[in-house]
Amino acid sequence: MWVNDAMTTVFAPSWEVPPADFQRAVEVTFLGQVWGTMAALARMRPRDRGTILDVGSALAFIGIPLQSAYCSSKFACRGFFESVRAELLHEGSHVRMSMVHLPAVNTPQFNWSRTTLGRHPQPVPPIYQPEVCARFILEVALDGRRDKVIGSWNKLLVMAAQLVPGFANQYAAVGAWGTQLTDQPVRADRPDNLSQPVDAQRDAGAHGIFDDKAGGFLDPSFLSSLPATAKNFAVAVGRVASEKQEAYRNVIAKRRKK
């Protein structure tokens, strides 16, 4: 079994990400899965057996602000997975490919991901512990199902992104900027792992600094935010309606000119 899970990111508006930083995040997060898959297939295809599991994300379906490099990489990972899986099916291979799409996870990445922002980054709630994701990754690797989205909230967002992309954009615009930032300022000497590992000399473990909020959908901190979330939903629906009305008016105006 081969698990593709390498990632790095840059927390910043897209126009503040230098080209070299964007390229590096894509090389690790997307091309890391490409080259990892190629290395695994070189050994698995001749044996006609093995499992390749790609770690995806809910952000492979819905793009959020401040994470353009990461989101575009995860979208690309999903496209690569679809293509390679189809090729294996075409040749009748017994090599299996699966993809598990993670929710927000309490890992150390938020302590060392590069950022241009003044406030410390955090996962977008609801936040899950890494052990939850590890259990599902193992289950999918063993049972061979095609894919899985972890977390009921994330399943809802993925469904919305697929059925009503305009709503997903508006909801992300309204609700996903501030929720990625804590009130804690970023230290001037804060290290980042975009170019090289921060934990090369010391194993930082699997957990980040958000253990007190990492109870998933039923965590009290997330449940208490639902009224504000409902308001964001309503604002997003209103904006989508306004977008459609504006588009309709433009079509009518063009027809009248003809």
What CATH number is attached to the domain comprising 197?
Answer: 3.40.50.720
Q: Residue 205: is it exposed, middle or buried by C-beta count within 10 angstroms (0-12/13-18/19+)?
A: exposed
Number of domains in the chain: 1
Check residue 183 and report its DSSP letter.
E
Tokens coding 155: 């399943």
**pLDDT per position as a tens digit, 167-182:** 889 999 999 999 999 9
119 in a domain, yes or no?
yes
The alpha carbon of 24 is separated from its chain's Cα centroid by a whole number of angstroms, namely 17
Tokens coding 26: 């894509």
Contact 192, 112 (CB under 8 A): yes
Contact 32, 55 (CB under 8 A): no
33 in a domain, yes or no?
yes
240 in a domain, yes or no?
no
What's residue 120's pLDDT? 96
Tokens coding 197: 């590992």
What's residue 186's pLDDT? 93
Contact 232, 225 (CB under 8 A): no
223 in a domain, yes or no?
no
226 in a domain, yes or no?
no
pTM of the model: 0.92
Instruction: For Cα atoms 164, 23, 77, give the angle at the middle one, nearest 5 degrees.
Output: 45
What's residue 255's pLDDT? 83
What's residue 111's pLDDT? 94
Residues with pLDDT less than 50, the chain: none
Q: What is the DSSP string of 40-107?
A: HHHHHHHHT--EEEEEEEGGGTS--TTBHHHHHHHHHHHHHHHHHHHHHHHTT---EEEEEEE-EE--
Tokens coding 245: 């009305």
107 in a domain, yes or no?
yes
Grouping H, G, I as helix, E, B as strand and the rest as coil, residue 196 is: coil
225 in a domain, yes or no?
no
Nearest of 91, 116, 106, 2 to residue 51 by alpha carbon: 2
Domain that includes residue 155, residue range? 2-165+181-216
242 in a domain, yes or no?
no
**How far is it, in rounded angstroms, from Cα 207 to Cα 220?**
19
State the helix-helix crossing angle for 68-90 and 19-26, rounded to 10 degrees: 30
